[in-house]
């Protein structure tokens, strides 16, 4: 059996695979995508026919199940990617603190704790940092830092990172503490990407 030496990735809340395309273009090997919505799962499978996609509620997925399916040990995964649902945090929505989707970050925390990836990346809207949602932001940051990871966060606009779309995003980046690398963000481009 041929061993794949490309960095390995699992995507939680993967949707149609926007982040997955970025990982593919950067030379990573996506092992698995998981999402609850059927239409995005179908689109993901069309876009990435060689990557398994689980149409599942993440709260029902067990860590041991994932490890067995992928034939991996705890700590072997290179990157855990998570694009949490943003509806409860978005300034375009109701910004309901009690929105149950706001607590889905706990599922990402569970996967980080269980898989112990070398790196994690969590993406969401900047509304998570603002107003009444700031408490949730602080809760997320505290939990991420308490799991043995060096964590940094940054608000970035994708238009300065070779994406032809002005979209402000909040990124949490964590690197396991036993690794000698510090989390750093790439420098933005001075020129914006246009079609």
Catalytic residue numbers, as ranges: 86
Does residue 33 contact residue 53 with C-beta atoms inside 8 Å? yes
Q: Which residues contact 115 (CB under 8 A, 6 or more apart)?
A: 10, 63, 66, 67, 74, 75, 77, 80
Does residue 32 contact residue 79 with C-beta atoms inside 8 Å? no
Does residue 81 contact residue 7 with C-beta atoms inside 8 Å? no
For residue 18, CA distances in Å to 46, 106, 137 come to 13, 22, 23
**Residue 169, both tokens:** 């995003």
Where do we find the tokens 């239409």? 39
Does residue 116 contact residue 154 with C-beta atoms inside 8 Å? no
Where do we find the tokens 């949602």? 133
Torsion angle in degrees (nearest 10) through CA of 109, 111, 114, 116? -90
User: Is residue 79 within a helix (H) or strand (E), and if so which, with residue range?
Assistant: strand 79-83
């Amino acid at each position: 059996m041929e061993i794949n030496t490309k960095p390995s990735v699992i995507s939680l809340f993967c949707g149609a695979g926007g982040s997955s395309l970025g990982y593919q273009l950067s030379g990573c090997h996506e092992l698995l995508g998981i999402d609850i919505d059927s239409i995005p799962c179908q689109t993901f499978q069309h876009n990435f026919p060689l990557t398994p996609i689980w149409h599942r509620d993440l709260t029902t997925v067990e860590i041991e199940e994932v490890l067995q399916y992928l034939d991996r040990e705890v700590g072997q995964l290179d990157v855990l990617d998570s694009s949490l649902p943003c509806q409860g945090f978005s300034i375009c929505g109701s910004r309901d603190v009690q929105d149950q989707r706001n607590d889905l970050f706990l599922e990402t925390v569970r996967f980080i704790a269980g898989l112990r990836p070398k790196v994690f990346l969590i993406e969401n809207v900047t509304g998570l940092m603002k107003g009444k949602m700031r408490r949730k932001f602080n809760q997320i940051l505290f939990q991420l830092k308490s799991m043995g990871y060096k964590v940094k966060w940054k608000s970035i606009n994708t238009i300065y990172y070779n994406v032809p779309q002005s979209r402000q995003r909040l990124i949490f980046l964590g690197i396991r503490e036993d690794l000698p690398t510090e989390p750093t963000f790439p420098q933005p481009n001075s020129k914006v990407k246009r079609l």
